[in-house]
């Protein structure tokens, strides 16, 4: 594929123990995928911010995956010996062709899932979601319903009348679901009034999106939040989770394309992620909008890496 690069082992650096105490010592960089018989996680990078550019956002997320991997590499390894952690390479956007990058992403995700491997996709703009979702759709059995859980300040339900971008992926998915007569199950966590115009709230209502707004998305209301998440998951067969880092307050995540101090905190996000994992229905996850250009002391990259670290050690 012209828009796919082999994994770069030089990114996986850190303290040396010679006893697999750190993830850079645990990870295996692979050129070809095979059917896995043990628990396996695959890091797949999506180095593309063409969608952010089209959406008039701050570019720089193209180097986001690399920044996350560098921080993840240094973290301690508590995985069981027979659990595999793979780096399977990078999808990139060649000649501004975001749609082709999304197609390559979809094909790779499908292959991973069919090989009994859990994809962890690192971005990159939130246009990552359209490719990722289609990869899942092509991998699961036709009768199974997919639930999308999005940690985000934004609905990303903009109409794609003037083209696709980082703000249109869930609208595109909803339109595809309508065309194919399949349910559109979408839960948004952390939606802000100051980040979405009235037309987006209208679209969300028409599409029957389940919404927990940012002012209600905190530890004080965690019991109610977790009940809502559990109820959503109960009505679907599998769950795809996407974490847009711009949903977090810029106190924790300054390195994003659309930063705001008004976002949510990591503690409620981690509680929710725990509930999603415990459901047993989570089959794939991505992290979007990591923008190293605006990061402070790698804090946002470290936050993203910690989310991945939590995921692989909890499933």
pLDDT at 1 over 80: no
Residue pair 125/291 in contact by the 8 Å Cβ criterion:
no
Confidence class for position 139, pLDDT limits 50, 70, 90: very high
Residue 62: name the closest of 93, 28, 39 by CA. Answer: 93
Residue 237 tokens, joined = 């067969």
Mean pLDDT, residues 95-124:
97
The percent of residues in the chain predicted with pLDDT above 90, rounded, is: 97
DSSP 196: S
The answer, yes or no, to whether the previous bond of 168 is cis (omega within 30 of 0) is: no
Q: Write down the pLDDT at residue 37.
A: 87
**Residue 90 domain boundaries:** 4-314
For residue 313, say whether it is annotated as part of any ligand binding site. Answer: no
Confirm or deny that 216 is annotated as ligand binding. Answer: no
pLDDT at 11 over 90: yes
126 is in an annotated binding site: yes
Higher per-residue pLDDT: 18 or 132: 132
When pLDDT is averaged across residues 151-171 and rounded to a whole number, the result is 97
Tell me how many domains the chain contains. Answer: 1
Q: How confident is the model at residue 25 (pLDDT cuts 50, 70, 90)?
A: very high
Q: pLDDT by residue (tens digit) across 264-314?
A: 999 999 999 999 999 999 999 999 999 999 999 999 999 999 999 999 999
Q: What is the pLDDT of residues 197-211, one digit of tens each?
A: 999 999 999 999 999
pLDDT band at 243 (very low <50, low <70, confident <90, very high): very high
Please spell the DSSP secondary structure of 31-48, one letter per residue.
SS----SS-EEEEEEEE-
Q: In angstroms, what CA-CA distances link 231 with 68, 151, 276? A: 32, 17, 11
Q: How far apart are the first and last CA of the chain?
A: 31
pLDDT above 90 (res 77): yes
CA distances from 38 to 54, 77, 117, 135, 184 (A): 41, 17, 9, 21, 32
- At residue 215, the pLDDT reads 98
pLDDT tens sequence across 186-195: 999 999 999 9
Give the pLDDT confidence score for residue 148 in this predicted structure: 99
Residue 177 has pLDDT above 80, yes or no: yes
> Do the annotations mark residue 154 as ligand-binding?
yes
- Beta bridge partners of residue 117, listed in sequence order: none
Residues 6+ apart with CB under 8 A from 148: 129, 133, 170, 173, 185, 186, 187, 239, 240, 241, 242
Q: What CATH number corresponds to the domain at position 264? A: 3.40.800.10
Q: Is the pLDDT of residue 157 over 80?
A: yes
Q: Has residue 32 got a pLDDT over 90?
A: no
């Amino acid at each position: 594929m012209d828009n796919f690069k082999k994994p770069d082992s030089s990114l996986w650096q850190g303290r040396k123990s010679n006893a697999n105490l750190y993830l850079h010592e645990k990870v295996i960089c692979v050129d070809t995928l095979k059917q896995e018989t043990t628990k396996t996680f695959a890091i797949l990078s999506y180095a593309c911010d063409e969608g952010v550019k089209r959406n008039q956002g701050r570019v720089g997320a193209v180097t986001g995956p690399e920044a996350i991997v560098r921080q993840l590499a240094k973290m301690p390894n508590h995985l069981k010996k027979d659990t595999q952690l793979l780096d399977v390479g990078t999808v990139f956007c060649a000649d501004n062709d975001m749609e082709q990058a999304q197609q390559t992403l979809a094909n790779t995700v499908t292959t991973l899932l069919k090989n009994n491997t859990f994809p962890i996709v690192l971005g990159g703009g939130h246009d990552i979601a359209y490719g990722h979702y289609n990869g899942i759709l092509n991998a699961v059995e036709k009768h199974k319903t997919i639930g999308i859980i999005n940690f985000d300040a934004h609905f990303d339900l903009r109409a794609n009348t003037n083209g696709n971008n980082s703000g249109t992926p869930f609208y595109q998915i909803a339109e595809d679901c309508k065309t194919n007569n399949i349910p559109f199950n979408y839960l948004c966590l952390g939606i802000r009034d100051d980040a979405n115009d009235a037309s987006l709230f209208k679209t969300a209502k028409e599409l029957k999106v389940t919404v927990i707004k940012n002012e209600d998305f905190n530890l004080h209301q965690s019991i109610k939040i977790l009940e809502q998440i559990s109820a959503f998951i109960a009505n679907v067969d599998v769950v795809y989770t996407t974490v847009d880092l711009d949903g977090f307050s810029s106190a924790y995540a300054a390195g994003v394309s659309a930063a705001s101090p008004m976002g949510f905190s990591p503690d409620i996000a981690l509680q929710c992620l725990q509930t999603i994992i415990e459901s047993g229905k989570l089959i794939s996850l991505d992290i979007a909008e990591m923008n190293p250009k605006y990061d402070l002391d790698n804090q946002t990259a470290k936050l993203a890496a910690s989310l991945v670290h939590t995921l692989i050690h909890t499933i």
